[in-house]
Amino acid sequence: MKQRTKAMFMAVVLLFTTVMAPLLHVTTVKAAGDLVLKLHYNRKDGNYDDWDVWLWEEGKDGAAYPFEDENGEMVATKVITPGTTSVGFIVRTADWTKDVDEDQFIDISEMVSGTVHIYVESGVAGYTKEYDEDAVTGIKLTKARYDEEKLTVIITMTGKLEGNPADAFSVKGAEGTVAIKEVTEGEASSYNLLLEEPLDLTKSYTVTYEGEEYPLALPSIYSTDNFEQEYTYTGTDLGATWSSDKTTFRVWAPTAEDITVNLYESGTPETEDLIEQIKMQKDVNGTWIAEKEGDLNGIYYTYKVTINGETTEACDPYARTTGVNGKRAMVIDLSSTNPDGWENDTNPHAGEAYTDAVIYELHVRDLSSDASSGISNTGKFLGLIEEGTTNEAGVPTGLDHIKDLGITHLHLLPSYDYGSVDETQLDKPQFNWGYDPVNYNVPEGSYSTDPYNGEVRVAEMKQMVQGLHNNGISVVMDVVYNHVYNATDFCFNQIVPEYFSRIDEDGKYSSGSGCGNDTASERAMVRKYIVESVKYWADEYHIDGFRFDLVGLIDTETINEVVAEVHKDHPDVIFYGEGWTLETTLTKDGYDLATQVNSAKTPDFAYFNDTIRDGLKGNVFDTKTLGFVSGGENFESTIAQCFMGAADWCSSPSQTINYASCHDNLTLIDRISRSTPNASREDRIRMNNLSAAIYMSAQGIPFLQAGEEMLRTKQKSDGGFDENSYSSPDSVNSLKWDNLNEEEYLNVYNYYKGLIAFRKAHPALRMTNAEDVAANLTTVEGMDSGVVALEMKGGANGDSAKGMFFIFNSNNEEKQISLPEGSWDVYINGEKAGTEVLETLSGTATAAPISAMVLVKSDKDAPVTQTEASKNSPNAAILIIIVVVILVPVIVGSIIVIRKRKKN
């Protein structure tokens, strides 16, 4: 397991590595000569219900292993792959409550075979190790790879061998033993086996040492020019193409020896309801094809693929829908799933620029899972479009809340078929963000009302999109093409082993994602798959935008082709993603990755701006550090630069996603609370609102996590804040609608609503290129520490405003700011925001502590108060003197006359 190398949510995704395997527990049986690890777990309370251990061999996927009673001790057993030197473990529950909150590793580099016992105490980091009487320790083989140019197998051992190394090794393939010409000793306990003949790189081989067989890593042929020229298929009919008369199956499998299509009555795996097997025939460019007469709509199917003499059953990578848990694909008449009026459904924000978007990030389940939501379709696609829902106090919830807030685009966390929720167990509490893809072109079954029927998930997702469109909301889909749930079991890799994923020279999966594997987007058929997948969602489901998870692992050519192909028919679709720089092993030379620093190479793709995020609230790696809004020092230039849409890596405001919080890490108010232990609740809310005022009025594309507008917190049962709630229960992740019954939360909601309304009313906040920004927006120099001020020219981007002035004060005291000449209408201050004038000022503005002020140049003169007159106007001072010197004696004299008359 590797940690990510940039933002904190890289650590979030690191935890996904621990969910990259089938949901079922692994059972193991010891074979002769095996190396067996037995992990003994002891709890003082004696309660082992729901506890298991997640085990993974370093550099590979993990799985859950149950504890079983062995002579009164709770023991989990795993057979270790030959050559493994380290095994990671996490003792945890199914909902990922961890016994010790860290990844721990067991060193077994000395173990050759036999049984090793590992003893773990609950709540205590570390372990103790004991050898069974059958344990064999000593030197073992750790790596074996083939150098094609030198015709040599390079062996790495844990130590130097005694005796003649020529007698120690043999190389075997499906056709028998491979002749070794010479064995020589290399550096650092390595040995070189010079072969008589070259190996066939389309086959698999093993190296035998002391009776144990080890897989031999071969150079990949997949990325060679010859392979791609011969096996790149350009047709658009991969998958099952249905008509009422026949269905045609086409699958890309250039290394397969034999393929059949299995037809099933149901989509439930392991159900013995096979209807028929159809033998496929080899066709062009590595594809195989089969046809079946008749109407197969609703029939489930898989591919049975034989490679190197071994047969496996796989789902179709191009499946349009599946049965429960995505194991069997389904033939489907997609037109039958269209809701009424689908042909007239359109993007409600068609014709708008990227910078016109206001994006609201939401997990499907979070909207409805709290009892206060009033939504009946809990955790379902249909729950997103229920209208008229309220909490018990009558406060609007769900769709009505989102619509009233005024956002333009609803960004949904992964909604394709993912692997970390068991769709057969939906009566039990389960939660996951879903960043673990299983079937990229299939809606997630747990979000449908019937995951067993492949038609239902398709129809209900379309209904959701249509319902949101009808309410003026565009839909963004969170897509995760950079890695898969389990690389070995991923259907594409089952059909063409290891093609979809990057493999290093030692035969291990590259894992810059921190999720156990990285996608080889630079390969022709992987690129084709990604491009066609995104286009399919835009075409079939009318998706209006795509957020790419860890797009920094995908090459720029793939991203540009995705954008170009989608924009041919859907020019209004927006694209953005996480452009962090990550370490990965590309399988080809000459490719750039879609990172922030390469943003100029993907001009129609926007990137999350961690510069403004960390500038506002503090470094994401250290949650106790301060940012601009919480009183941190020396952030003024960063905030000003980002406000102009010009972070160091960014050349256009159309390419920056400005935000303060997202699903990863702490929520905004939780992050502020952790870093300001001595601040009052009122001040923390001011910091929250100041953050929002800055990124909502900045040049670029504003983005907020659902619930930020009502001070969303993710509080765990122990009272602490959950900064990685990817698998936390509903009690942590749900939106708490009853909070809006309280004035404190309602005021914040109205503030956000006003910020969005003001942004929508002013094109000057939504410029699309750096040249226009530079020509119209300037930083005001000479401000005090903790104050940022900027001035906008009139008419910017066609705005009717004659000018704008922005003041951001992060100090705990008022600040007096000189205004440009003329009268200025205040639309945003520390308490309110919107499209109504709050007051009109001239000369000087007083910025309240920890607040924003946004002013628009007024057509009318400002009202002058006595205080302002005495402070700012010499003429007013003279007038006061005249009143005192002339009028007062007159008044006094009149009073004296009146008194004399009364006496008389």
The dihedral built from the CA positions of residue 323, 327, 333 and 337, taken in this order, carries a sign that is positive
Torsion sign across C-alpha atoms 645, 650, 651, 655: negative
The CA distance from 567 to 848, in Å, is 46
Residues 855, 830 contacting (CB under 8 angstroms): no
Active site (annotated) includes residue 578: yes
Paired tokens of 795: 């008419």
Task: State how far the Cα of 313 lies from the Cα of 334, in Å rounded to an integer.
Answer: 25
The answer to whether 408 touches 473, Cβ cutoff 8 Å, is: yes
Q: How many residues does the chain have?
A: 904
Rounded Cα distance between 139 and 466, Å, is 63
> Coil, strand or helix: which one is 143?
strand
Residue of 52, 478, 578, 709 marked catalytic: 578
- From the candidates 549, 614, 670, 722, which is the catalytic residue? 549
Q: What is the distance between the alpha carbons of residues 371 and 378, in angstroms, rounded to a whole number?
A: 9
- Taking the C-alpha atoms of residue 398 and residue 389, their distance in angstroms, rounded to an integer, is 7
Q: Take residue 817 and report the two structure tokens written for it.
A: 């700011």
Q: How far apart are CA 223 and CA 218, in angstroms?
A: 13
Beta carbons within 10 angstroms of residue 373's beta carbon: 24
- Asked if residues 563 and 604 have their Cβ atoms less than 8 Å apart, the reply is yes
Buried residues in 766-785 as b, exposed as e (16+ CB within 10 A): bbbbbebbeebbebbeebee
For residues 606 and 701, the answer to whether their CB atoms sit within 8 Å is yes
Phi, psi of 875 (to 5 degrees): -65, -35
Burial class from Cβ neighbours inside 10 Å (0-12, 13-18, 19+) for residue 72 reads exposed
Nearest to 668 by CA among 709, 625, 638, 717: 709
Q: Are 805 and 764 in contact (CB under 8 A)?
A: no
| Residue located via tokens 């002391």 | 210
Nearest to 694 by CA among 732, 644, 749: 644
Q: Is 549 a catalytic residue?
A: yes
What region does 463 belong to: left with phi over 0, alpha with psi -120 to 50, or beta? alpha
- Using alpha carbons, select from 362, 624, 315 the residue that is nearest to residue 491: 315
Which runs of E-coded beta strand occur in 750-814? 777-779, 787-793, 803-809
> Residue 212 carries which side chain, given as an amino acid letter?
E
Instruction: For residues 237 and 250, give the distance between their C-alpha atoms in angstroms, rounded to a whole number.
Output: 7
Q: Rounded distance, CA 759 to CA 769, Å? A: 17
User: Angle, nearest 10°, between helix axes 636-643 and 610-617?
Assistant: 140
Cα–Cα distance for residue pair 411/549, rounded to 1 Å: 12
Using an 8 Å Cβ cutoff, are 876 and 864 in contact?
Answer: yes
Please report, for residues 285, 629, 630, 745, 814, the alpha-carbon distance to residue 678 in angstroms, rounded to integers and kept in the order given.
67, 15, 11, 21, 20
- Single-letter residue type at 261: V
Distance from C-alpha of 638 to C-alpha of 619, rounded to nearest angstrom: 13
C-alpha gyration radius of the chain: 33
Q: Coil, helix or strand for 281?
A: strand
Rounded Cα–Cα distance for residues 297 and 336 (Å): 10
The one-character DSSP state at 350 is T
Please report the sign of the dihedral spanned by the C-alpha atoms of residue 398, residue 399, residue 404, residue 405: positive
Task: Give the ranges where 815-887 is alpha helix by DSSP (H).
Answer: 866-872, 874-882
What amino acid positions are annotated as catalytic residues? 549, 578
